[in-house]
């Protein structure tokens, strides 16, 4: 899991660009829609998936009225019929990719993902072929400003809530749980009165591959192309995010 906070920071900096904000809002609205449909209705008190989706929408600074409209639309008769689908494949230089999408047209999404792979030196694989390379983990991003108690005491509370590891950054903590303890950590944070900036199940690579800088930048460009697709929600890969690469990405912003 080392390096996840680097990746989160890269995404945060790039997410600050105006062109990314509309994408973030679209993805948040889709997450809300799927949560309402599959998670148990429009009441966040009774629907943990919707609570997470609302929290994540707030994390990208979506206005409250926009969130409420998204919930209302998702629970109505004319709601968009989104479904979650995943794709696996290899990019250039042997880097494995796991792509999570939310779509109302699977044929369009399959064609788009396959095209991005093939035009950039990669190939789409069969579902299940690469899943063993990633571990599903709960990942919670917590602002240090929201933590009122002593840090050592807080970490003990997190461990009680299922935390398996904690990455500390200057302004945030990244807390990891086993997939099965995702709900337990949500409950613990609610008990502590803390609303995470982001809470989601992610696919963390079990092992990473370090590439020369030039090749690594090719992979970053491929990631950007996937993320620019409206149907793509999350892009996971097993490339090592070296300090050299992070510095290079910072200088490009």
For residue 46, the model assigns a pLDDT of 87
Work out the percent of the chain whose per-residue pLDDT is above 70.
91
Q: Measure the CA–CA gap between 66 and 75, rounded to whole angstroms.
A: 14
Is it the case that residue 21 has pLDDT exceeding 80?
no
**Which residues is 61 bridged to in the sheet?**
none
Please give the average per-residue pLDDT across 163-192, as a whole number: 91
| pLDDT, tens digit (0-9, with 9 covering 90-100), for 117-154 | 999 999 999 988 898 999 999 999 999 998 888 899 99
| pLDDT, tens digit (0-9, with 9 covering 90-100), for 156-169 | 999 999 999 999 88
CB 74 within 8 A of CB 87: no
Q: Measure the CA–CA gap between 87 and 102, rounded to whole angstroms.
A: 11
Q: What is the CATH number of domain 4-74?
A: 1.10.10.200
* pTM for the predicted model, two decimal places: 0.83
Q: 41 or 176: which carries more pLDDT confidence?
A: 176
| pLDDT, tens digit (0-9, with 9 covering 90-100), for 219-232 | 999 999 999 898 99
The residue length of the chain stands at: 253
Q: Measure the CA–CA gap between 176 and 178, rounded to whole angstroms.
A: 7
Q: 248 falls in which pLDDT band (50, 70, 90)?
A: confident
Q: 38 falls in which pLDDT band (50, 70, 90)?
A: confident
Q: Which residues contact 78 (CB under 8 A, 6 or more apart)?
A: none
Q: 16 falls in which pLDDT band (50, 70, 90)?
A: very low
Q: Measure the CA–CA gap between 30 and 102, rounded to whole angstroms.
A: 7
Q: What is the CATH number of domain 88-122+208-242?
A: 3.30.70.980
Please give the average per-residue pLDDT across 34-55, as a whole number: 86
Q: 98 or 80: which carries more pLDDT confidence?
A: 98
Chain position carrying tokens 């699977």? 106
For residue 244, the model assigns a pLDDT of 87
Chain position carrying tokens 């990633």? 134
Q: Measure the CA–CA gap between 20 and 24, rounded to whole angstroms.
A: 6
Question: What kind and span of H or E run contains 183?
Answer: helix 182-191
Read off the DSSP letter of residue 229.
S
Q: Do domains 88-122+208-242 and 133-205 have the same CATH topology?
A: yes
CATH architecture, domain defined by 133-205: 2-Layer Sandwich (3.30)
C-alpha separations of 188 from 159, 169, 184 in Å:
10, 21, 6
CB 92 within 8 A of CB 121: yes
Work out the percent of the chain whose per-residue pLDDT is above 90.
49
| Chain centre distance of CA 142 | 14
C-alpha separations of 87 from 113, 116, 251 in Å:
8, 12, 31
The residue ranges of every structural domain in the chain are 4-74, 88-122+208-242, 133-205
Read off the DSSP letter of residue 181.
G
For residue 2, the model assigns a pLDDT of 44
| pLDDT, tens digit (0-9, with 9 covering 90-100), for 56-76 | 888 888 899 999 999 998 888
Q: Measure the CA–CA gap between 30 and 43, rounded to whole angstroms.
A: 17
Tally of CB atoms within 10 A around 13: 14
Q: Measure the CA–CA gap between 226 and 217, rounded to whole angstroms.
A: 14
For residue 10, the model assigns a pLDDT of 57
For residue 1, the model assigns a pLDDT of 46
For residue 41, the model assigns a pLDDT of 86
Q: 86 falls in which pLDDT band (50, 70, 90)?
A: very high
Is it the case that residue 13 has pLDDT exceeding 80?
no
Q: Measure the CA–CA gap between 119 and 173, rounded to whole angstroms.
A: 37
């Amino acid at each position: 899991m080392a390096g996840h906070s680097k990746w989160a920071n890269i995404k945060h900096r790039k997410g600050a660009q105006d062109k990314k904000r509309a994408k973030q809002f679209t993805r948040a609205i889709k997450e809300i829609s799927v949560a309402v449909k599959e998670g148990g209705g429009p009441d966040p008190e009774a629907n943990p998936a919707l609570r997470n989706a609302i929290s994540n929408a707030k994390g990208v600074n979506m206005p409250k009225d926009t969130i409420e409209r998204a919930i209302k639309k998702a629970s109505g008769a004319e709601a968009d019929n989104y479904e979650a689908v995943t794709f696996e494949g290899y990019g250039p230089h042997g880097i494995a990719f796991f792509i999570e999408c939310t779509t109302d047209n699977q044929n369009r999404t399959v064609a788009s993902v396959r095209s991005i792979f093939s035009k950039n030196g990669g190939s789409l694989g069969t579902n299940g072929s690469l899943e063993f390379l990633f571990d599903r983990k709960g990942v919670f991003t917590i602002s240090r400003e929201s933590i009122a108690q002593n840090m050592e005491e807080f970490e003990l509370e997190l461990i009680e809530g299922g935390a398996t590891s904690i990455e500390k950054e200057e302004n945030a903590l990244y807390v990891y749980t086993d997939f099965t303890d995702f709900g337990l950590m949500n409950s613990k944070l609610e008990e502590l009165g803390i609303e995470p900036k982001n809470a989601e199940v992610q696919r963390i690579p079990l092992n990473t591959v370090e590439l020369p800088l030039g090749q690594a930048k090719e992979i970053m460009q491929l990631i950007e192309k996937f993320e620019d697709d409206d149907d793509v929600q999350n892009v996971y890969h097993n490339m090592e995010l070296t300090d050299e690469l992070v510095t290079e990405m910072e200088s490009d912003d």
